[in-house]
Amino acid sequence: MSLTPMKTTTKLSILAIASGVLALLLGIAAAMLCAYAYTKARMPYNEEGSYFDGVAVHHAGSEYVYGVVGLSFGVFALFAGLGAYRLFKRAGAARRGRNADDAEAGGSPG
């Protein structure tokens, strides 16, 4: 039994979908982390930089870490989304029989 290699369009489509899902998940994580950082920044800390909410003690300054992590997730989501867009574009060009590199250059078929 021999295994046949996958078609280029199938590979590009799978990579594009995976990259799009990754971008979506990173974007959701970025939004949640930034919202949590904003919530923590608005807490009424005392003069020692602590806030007790009845369950846990929150310390001032951690909102900056959450914000930086959230923004970096947002940048990663942007790059993953751009990669997914380019892969979808290349897969579409390959499906139409054009060279996949022409899709990135924006060239027309004739």
Domain that holds residue 27: 22-42+60-94
pLDDT tens digit sequence for 61-92: 999 999 999 999 999 999 999 999 999 999 88
Q: For 7-32, what is the mean pLDDT?
A: 93
Task: Give domain status of residue 17, yes or no.
Answer: no
**Per-residue model confidence (pLDDT) at position 36:** 95
Return the amino acid letter for 48: E
Task: Give domain status of residue 14, yes or no.
Answer: no
Confidence of residue 2 (pLDDT cuts 50, 70, 90): low
Task: Give domain status of residue 101, yes or no.
Answer: no
Cα(110)–Cα(99) distance, integer angstroms: 12
How many structural domains are present in the chain?
1
In this structure, how many other beta carbons lie within 10 angstroms of the beta carbon of residue 90? 23
pLDDT tens digit sequence for 96-106: 876 655 555 55
Task: Give domain status of residue 37, yes or no.
Answer: yes
**Per-residue model confidence (pLDDT) at position 85:** 95
Q: Which residues contact 51 (CB under 8 A, 6 or more apart)?
A: 43, 44, 45, 57, 58, 59, 60
Q: For 46-69, what is the mean pLDDT?
A: 92
Task: Give domain status of residue 26, yes or no.
Answer: yes
Task: Give domain status of residue 89, yes or no.
Answer: yes
Task: Give domain status of residue 3, yes or no.
Answer: no
Using a cut of 0.85, tell me whether the model's pTM lies above it. no
**Per-residue model confidence (pLDDT) at position 102:** 55
Confidence of residue 110 (pLDDT cuts 50, 70, 90): very low
Task: Give domain status of residue 70, yes or no.
Answer: yes
**Per-residue model confidence (pLDDT) at position 104:** 57
DSSP label of 1: -
Is the Cβ–Cβ distance between 22 and 82 less than 8 Å?
Answer: no
- Render 4-23 in DSSP notation, one character per residue: PPPPHHHHHHHHHHHHHHHH
